[in-house]
């Protein structure tokens, strides 16, 4: 489990257990069973099951049947879209703040630079999503 990845996913408003499960699926880079997720995260099966239901409902995880077991895999494409949407929301807030701040202030100058940098990052992410 990656604490920094879990932290990022928590910033995207995922509950801690769901962020932990998704972080584990992303770092393991393979489909995992409920039992494997329980062992890797330390959460009880009931917590993992609830987290997986939430993640499946948000299309962040997909379930497949492997033999007699269900396995779960992270949907990286959807996660990338979610991150892009959150960056767009942040940029929108920055743009709104710029319209309310005196243009002669240092804060305005700083936010304007951040706004331009966010614009570049978002364009790159959207281009990757199209390819």
Burial class, 78, CB count within 10 angstroms (exposed 0-12 / middle 13-18 / buried 19+)? middle
88-106 pLDDT, tens digit each: 999 999 999 999 999 899 9
DSSP string, 4-50: HHHHHHHHTT--HHHHHHHHHHHHHTS-EEHHHHHHHH---HHHHHH
Total-model pTM = 0.77
Q: How confident is the model at residue 1 (pLDDT cuts 50, 70, 90)?
A: low
Reported confidence tier of residue 5, pLDDT bands at 50, 70, 90: confident
Beta bridge partners, 74, equal 61
- The domain limits of the chain are 3-74, 78-130
Cβ atoms of residues 75 and 55 within 8 Å? no
pLDDT in tens, 42-53: 999 999 999 999
Four-point Cα dihedral 78, 80, 84, 85, nearest 10: 20
| Domain at 3-74: CATH code | 1.10.10.10
């Amino acid at each position: 489990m990656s604490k920094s990845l879990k932290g990022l996913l928590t910033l995207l408003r995922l509950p801690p257990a769901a962020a932990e499960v998704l972080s584990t699926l992303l770092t393991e880079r393979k489909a995992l069973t409920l039992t494997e997720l329980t062992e890797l995260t330390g959460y009880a099966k009931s917590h993992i099951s609830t987290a997986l239901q939430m993640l499946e409902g948000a299309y962040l995880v997909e379930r497949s049947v492997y033999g007699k077991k269900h396995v779960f895999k992270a949907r990286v494409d959807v996660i990338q879209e979610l991150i892009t949407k959150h960056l767009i929301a942040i940029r929108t807030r920055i743009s709104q703040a710029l319209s309310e701040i005196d243009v002669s202030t240092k804060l305005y100058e700083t936010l304007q630079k951040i706004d331009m940098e966010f614009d570049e990052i978002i364009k790159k992410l959207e281009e990757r999503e199209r390819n």
